[in-house]
A and B are shown apart, each in its own frame.
Chain A
Amino acid sequence: MRPGFFLKEAIRSMRRNPAPSFAALSCVLVTTLVLGVFIPVVQATNGAANSIRGRVVVDVDLNTTATPAETARVRSEVQHARYAGHVELVSKQAGYEQERKLNPQAFQLIGYNPLPDILRITPSNPDQADALRAELDQSSPTGTRLVTDSAIAAVQNRQAQTDKILSATRIVKITMALLAALLVFSSMLLVSNTIRLSLFSRRREVEVMKLVGATDWFIRWPFVIEGLFLGALGGVCAIGLLALAKITLIDPLASTVKLISQPAMIDFRLLVVVLMACAIAVSAAGSGISLRRFLRV
Chain B
Amino acid sequence: MPTPDSDILRREAPRRRALPARARRGVPAHPVAAPPRPANTPNANTVVEFRGVTKRYDSGDVGLERATFAIDRQEFVFLVGSTGSGKSTIMRLLIKELDPTEGVIRVAGRDLAQIERKRVPYYRRNVGVVFQDFKLLPTRTVYDNIAYALQVTGASRKQIRASLPDVLRLTGLSTKLHNYPHQLSGGEQQRVAVARAFASHPPLLLADEPTGNLDPDTSIGIMQLLYRINRAGTTVVVATHDNEMVDKMRRRVIELRRGRIVRDEATGLYAQDETTGDLAERLKRETNAPEPADRPRGGTRR
- Taking beta carbons and an 8 Å cutoff, which residues of A are in contact with B? 1-2, 5, 12-13, 16-17, 204-205, 207-216, 218, 297
Contact = CB atoms under 8 A, between A and B. Distances in A.
Interface in B211-225: none
Nearest to B153: A213
A212 B148 contact: yes
Interface string B196-216: 100000000000000000000
Given A209-B148, A213-B153, A17 B135 contact: no
* Contact-size category for B: 20 to 34
A213 B122 contact: yes
B139 A210 contact: no
Contacts of A5: 151
A211 B149 CA distance: 9
A49 B121 CA distance: 59
A17 B196 CA distance: 23
B139 A213 contact: no
23 contacts: A1-B154, A2-B154, A5-B151, A12-B139, A13-B139, A17-B139, A205-B137, A205-B138, A209-B137, A210-B121, A210-B124, A211-B95, A212-B124, A212-B125, A212-B196, A213-B121, A213-B123, A213-B153, A214-B148, A215-B118, A215-B152, A218-B152, A297-B97
Contact of B152 (A13, A207, A214): A214
B149 A213 contact: yes
Contacts of A209: 137, 148, 152
**A-side binding surface: helix, strand, loop or mixed?**
helix
B164 interface: no
**Shortest 3 CB-CB distances between A and B: which pairs?**
A213-B125, A213-B124, A16-B139
A52 B214 CA distance: 79
B124 A211 contact: yes
Contacts of A218: 121, 152
A276 B148 CA distance: 34
A212 B95 contact: no
Contact of B139 (A2, A205, A212, A215): A205
